Amino acid sequence: MNESSQNVIRIVVDECVEIDAPLVEKFRRTLSPQQPVEIVFLAASHRGIPDTEILRRLLGPDSLLLSTDRVLHNQALALGFRSYTLDEKGDLFGKKLAHVAAPEPLLSARSVGELKTDYVHPPNPIASALKSTMAERDFKRYRTRRRRIRSYFGSEANISSASLTIGARTTTRGLISGFFLSLGGYSGVKGIRANEGYALTLANEHEPAWCVIHALRDLYLLQLETVAVEIYIIPPASLALCQDLLSGSAPISQSPGDESLRRLLQGLKSVRAFPCGKGPFFEGMKNKLQQLASGRSNELVVTESHSIINALEQADACIIRTVAGD
């Protein structure tokens, strides 16, 4: 047995891989019985750790990564680390996956302090309530997008600001709402268009609150409620309602939609509302809504307003009980 075979191999198992997963078992079979290994299960030791921290602080010459995250796998290989995943046939694969775009990981930001055992975003009652209105397969897409956003910026702490462009268009089918979400970062990181979404609410629910509710909902599901937010609203009635709610001058007798919007606005750490002036964002939203109104598209998701209202009412009651110490 040569000297290199005595080196301890550190196996970093990503959170998306279970302890008894086929990927772990298949890799174990490639090792000789005498090979000493140290296995680090991130789900147990560094829960919710950002991808950049994995690449920057956990991988090295005597370590390797096991992950079913195809982007992270390709990023690790691009940096010269060893990484293994499963290919389409379920076989162990240690090379770059073709046709998987992997942005260059942000490694320039300096890590501060010791590695944490828990990086998970603190629970938020509003986000939990909104999640309850979604199917698990739909929420899974938000978890993936959150991870991609944090991977781009290096960590959640490097996201400095968010801006939303919000529009709406009335059609015979109902109200079509849309938003563009852009994020800015610290450490000289270039901002990105992080998400966009389009929803259809029923024809009898053309309240000015709904297009803003649809957009703000995304901030909570992406765990961005602590980031400073600026919202640029195209419909004048929606803008006026937001500004009234933020200033506290809104009338006491509000509709259920207005009250739901108030809860979402109050749950954000910092938010300001502005009119959306004519320009590329204004024209882009106008054209997109016109396109959606003139045809069918799988981008357009039907929303059930009553379920969102009920969920936010329950979240509000939960917050009140918590504050009261009940």
- 263: helix, strand or coil: helix
Percent of the chain with pLDDT over 90: 56
Residue whose entry in the numeric block shows the structure tokens 């775009």 = 101
Record the pTM: 0.77
Report the distance separating Cα 311 and Cα 317, nearest Å.
10
User: Residue 322 pLDDT > 70, yes or no?
Assistant: no
Report the distance separating Cα 136 and Cα 142, nearest Å.
10
- 318: helix, strand or coil: helix
Residue whose entry in the numeric block shows the structure tokens 């998701």 = 301
Question: In the 8-state DSSP scheme, what is residue 88?
Answer: T
Residue whose entry in the numeric block shows the structure tokens 């400095």 = 160
| 11-59 pLDDT tens trace | 999 998 988 899 999 999 999 888 999 999 999 999 988 888 899 899 9
Question: How many CA atoms are closer than 13 Å to the CA of 37, on its beta-carbon side?
Answer: 18
pLDDT of residue 189: 72
pLDDT of residue 106: 63
